[in-house]
Amino acid sequence: MKRVLVIRNDKIGDFMLAWPAFALLKGSLDCELTALVPAYTQDLAELCPAIDRVMLDPGKDAGPVAQKALLDQLRSRRFDAVICLFSNFRNAKLVWQAGIAERWAPATKLAQLLYNHRVRQRRSRSEKPEYEYNLDLVRAYLNAHRITPLEPTPPYLAFNVEEQVAFRSQQAQLLGVSAERPWLVVHAGSGGSANNLSVQQYAHLIGQLQRDFPDVQPILTAGPGESALAEQVAVQVKGAVPVAHGLALPDFCRLLACGQLFIAGSTGPLHIAAALDVPTVGFFPLRRSATPLRWRPLNSEGRHLAFHPPAGGELEDMSQIDMNEVAGKIRGWAARYLS
């Protein structure tokens, strides 16, 4: 059995968009798949059904002892190949020093000289979704070994149905909502990953969707340091809107799985919800490196709706998005999920 290392040691959203690549590799090849990730995505990596082992990266700012320990660990695992979905000079040097025989990565920047298998992608053009660039790297590796790729399909993350029913009931009691009525889950935080809607825009949209779908129960979610922002949105919405916060990351994922619709900016929770194939509404700037196309979530066809500032305006000014127009488009599209 081959031992393959896959590196995606950057942000949560980027890591989630690697899940189809993990699934493609594991589904097509009899291998032991190890993922090198930072501590803040460890819990997510351990939820991924395609990953056999999780290896922690202490990060570029860790001291020399931690860096040497990581290198020693990589050497001891005797990997047959590494596929570097996120390539920078540190990652390139690390796998080269580890002596991994096959080193695959995008053909970009000076770091590519330390890989012996390079795939030209031109990611800076943002001509396709990030997850497709990741898939292309795995396809290139499989094709080089004359292995037919078995393409994966959503959802990429799922929980036991009975356990989810019990979890939904528990959370309904904690949040003061009904487990039987549909949940509209909204995440107003951004994690600094991209420009986002304002508090007023989120509140306006929630209020409009409550009027359009009277049976719907809005629930706001908050990651670390985002509770105050979520509370600000809740205050501006007429009627009580609970804020779910303080959940461990696996339980946060389970909460998203309870939603009938999930709304957020271009940030990690949007990509977690999409991996679960919960219908998603996302808000994106139009800067080329941050467009709805480049960061398209993992939903199956028809289960994602994207919005962005109007073409011809300020590419990153999210205040230009007309929330009445947004609510109108969501109304017809989401009726199948919220009614």
Over residues 74-125, the pLDDT tens digits come to 999 999 999 999 999 999 999 999 999 999 999 987 788 999 999 999 888 8
The residues, ordered by sequence, that sit 6+ positions from 197 with a Cβ below 8 Å of its Cβ are: 188, 205, 265, 283, 318, 321
What is d(CA 138, CA 47) in angstroms, rounded to the nearest whole number? 21
pTM: 0.96
Q: Is 104 helix (H, G, I), strand (E, B) or coil?
A: strand
**Residue 275 domain flag:** yes
Q: Which residue, of 74, 109, 144, is where some domain finishes?
A: 144
For the chain, the residue count is 339
**Do the beta carbons of residue 123 and residue 33 sit within 8 Å?**
no
Domain-embedded: residue 156:
no
Structure confidence at residue 191 (pLDDT): 74
The pLDDT, as a whole number, for residue 144 is 98
Tell me what percent of the residues of the chain surpass a pLDDT of 70.
99
d(C-alpha 46, C-alpha 198), whole Å: 33
What amino acid is encoded at 12 in this protein?
A: I
Domain containing 36 — which CATH number? Answer: 3.40.50.2000
**Same domain flag for 209 and 323:** yes
pLDDT at position 111 is: 83
Give me the residues of the chain with pLDDT under 50, please: none
CA distance 7 to 35: 6
Domain range holding 117? 2-144
Residue 10 domain-assigned (yes or no): yes
